[in-house]
Structure 1
Amino acid sequence: MDCDPDAIARLVGNRRYTLEVKSIMDRSHINRLVESVRSELLPSLGIESVDPHDPVRVRHLPEPWRLLGAGNYAAVVYHPDYPDFVVKIYAPSRPGFEEEVEVYRRLGSHPAFSECLYAENGFLILKRLYGVTLYDCIHLGKRIPKQVIEDIDQALDYARKRGLYPHDIHGRNVMMYEGRGLVVDISDFLQEEKCSKWDDLKKAYYWFYRPILSPLGLRIPYFLLDVVRRNYRRWRRFASRLKPFFTGEIQRSH
C-alpha cells in the first residue's frame, strides 16, 4: 500500500484530537469527583489516628463511599460512580501529605505506580490500581511469577533515577495484576534512610517461596503470616542493634 502523507497527517490529527477530548472528559470527571469530596465526603467523614504505629480508624463513612484500606496516617476510599479513582485522606495532625504529593510529582507517569490527579488540604485523588497484594497472594495460594518481582525491581530503579528513595516496600505495599507487578504505597519515598525490606522480601521469594512454597500451592493462614511478620520485625530490630559490633562503629566512637 502506498503511503499518502495527507492521509497520515489526517490519522495523526484524529488521534491527537481523540486524546485531547478524552483528557477533557477525564478532567471534567475528576472535577465532579473533587466537588463530591468537598461537599459530601469530608463534612461527614469521621477519621482518627490513635497511635502512629497502628492504622487510622474510620469511624464514619457517608454513603455511597466505600473503604478500600487504611494505613498508619491515611485512609483510602472510593465512590462507586468513579471506580477508576481513589481518594486518599490523611487523618488530622498526621504528617506526610506534602511529601506524598512531591513524590507523585517526581514519579510522573509509570505503569507500575499510581498517579496523583488532584491534591488539596490533606486529600489526594489517585488513579486506582487493581490487583492483589503479594501478602494476600500467599494467603490465597496464588502463584507469584518472577515477572512480578522483576517489574517491581524495575519500578524502584525508575524511582531512584527520579531522585527518590524507595522505602517500606513489603508484601502489603506491592501488588500483582494480570501477572505484572505494581507498587501501591510510595508515601515514604523521600526518606533517605536505607531500607532493606524489599531486598529481604526478594530473598524470601527466591530462596523459599519459589523453590518450595509455590510448587505446593499452599494457602497460608493470616495468623501464620502475621507471626512471620512480627518475628521479622523483631529480627530487624535485633540486627540493627548488632550492626555497630560488625561495622566497628563502637570502637570508632571511643
Structure 2
Amino acid sequence: MIESAQILRLLVQRVDQELLPTIQINSITPHNPVEVHSVSAPWQLLGAGNYAAVFCHPEFPDQVIKIYAPSRPGFDEEVEVYRRLGVHPTFSTCLYVGKNFLVLRRLHGTTLYDCLHKGLTIPKQVIQDIDQALNYARSQGLNPYDVHGRNVMMWKGRGFVVDVSDFLHQGTCLKWTHLKRAYYWLYRPILAPFRLQVSYFLLDMVRRSYRLFCRSPGYRHVLH
C-alpha cells in the first residue's frame, strides 16, 4: 500500500508539473470529441470523449489521467459515479481526484468500435460481461446511460466498461439495447464468420445516422 501511495503521489506531481501546464483541450460542440493540442512527450493521448480526454505516461502503465475540457459539465457527477461503483473488475477505479482531472486504474483492451474496424472476433462472453456490469451499476443506484461501442471494450475475451460519466443521468437510453440487437442480428451471422473489416468512414456514417435516429419519435419503440 505504501508503494502504491508513493507511485500515485509521484504521478500526481507529474500531472501538475508537466501535463496540465502545457496541455490544451477544447470542446467545440458537446456532441463531438474534444480537440487536444500540445501533448508534451512522453505523455500520450489515449482517447477523447465529448467532455474530456484521457492520457497515459509510460512510467505509470497501470494508471490513466482523465482531464475535463474547460467549462464542460460532468466532473463532479463522474466522481460520484466512481464512489458508488467502488472496486469492480469490469469498471475502472478512481484513485485520485484533482481540480479538473481524475487518476483512474487503467483498463487495457480494444473498443468494440475498433474491433469492428479491425475485424476482431467479439465473443458472446464480452456482451454478457458488460450486461452483468451494467446490472451491478443499477444495483448501486446508477442509471447506465450512453453505453455504446466506443466506451465498452474487449480484452482477452472479456468485456469492460470504460466510460461511466453519464451514469447519473435520468431517463432511458437504449443505445446498449440496440447495440446488442445489432450484435446478434447482424454481427454474429454476417460480419463475424468472415471477419469483415468495417472502415471508419462507414462506422462514422452509422454513428451519425444513429444519432439522427435517436432524435426521431420512433426511437423508443424500435428494437425495444
What SS class does the counterpart of residue 215 from structure 2 fall into?
Answer: helix
Q: Which residue of 190, 205, 210 maps to 2:183?
A: 205
Q: Deviations over 1:170-195 (max 9, x none)?
A: 11010000000000100000002110
Q: CA deviation at 1:71?
A: 0.9
Q: CA deviation at 1:234?
A: 2.0
Q: Which residue of 105, 113, 126 maps to 1:148?
A: 126
1:223 aligned residue: 201
Distance 1:40 1:107 in 2: 30
Q: Please tell me the root mean square deviation across aligned C-alpha atoms, in Å.
A: 1.3
Q: Which moved more, 1:232-241 or 1:132-141?
A: 232-241
2:161 aligned residue: 183
- Where does 1:106-145 land on structure 2 (aligned, <5 Å)? 106-145=84-123
Residue 94 in structure 1 maps to residue 97 in structure 2: no
Distance 1:240 1:121 in 2: 41
Query: Quick check: which has more Rg, 1 or 2?
Result: 1
Q: Which has the higher contact order (CA 8 A, sep 6+)?
A: 2
Q: CA deviation at 1:239?
A: 3.4
C-alpha contact 2:26 2:36 (8 A) present in aligned 1: yes
Q: Which moved more, 1:228-237 or 1:71-80?
A: 228-237
TM-score normalised according to structure 1 size: 0.84
Q: Which residue of 139, 144, 149 maps to 1:161?
A: 139
Q: Deviations over 1:118-140 (max 9, x none)?
A: 00111000001100000111111
What SS class does the counterpart of residue 205 from structure 2 fall into?
Answer: helix
What SS class does the counterpart of residue 106 from structure 1 fall into?
Answer: helix
Structure 2 unmatched ranges of 5 or more: none
Q: CA deviation at 1:240?
A: 4.7
Alignment CA distance shift 1:242-1:176 (3 Å): closer
Query: Higher helix share goes to which structure?
Result: 1
2:36 aligned residue: 58
1:49 aligned residue: 27
C-alpha contact 2:87 2:93 (8 A) present in aligned 1: yes
TM-score normalised according to structure 2 size: 0.95
Give percent identity, aligned residues only. Answer: 61
Deviating above 4 A after TM superposition, structure 1's stretches of 4 or more consecutive aligned residues are 240-243
Q: CA deviation at 1:223?
A: 1.1
Residue 68 in structure 1 maps to residue 46 in structure 2: yes
Distance 1:141 1:157 in 2: 28
C-alpha contact 2:86 2:93 (8 A) present in aligned 1: yes
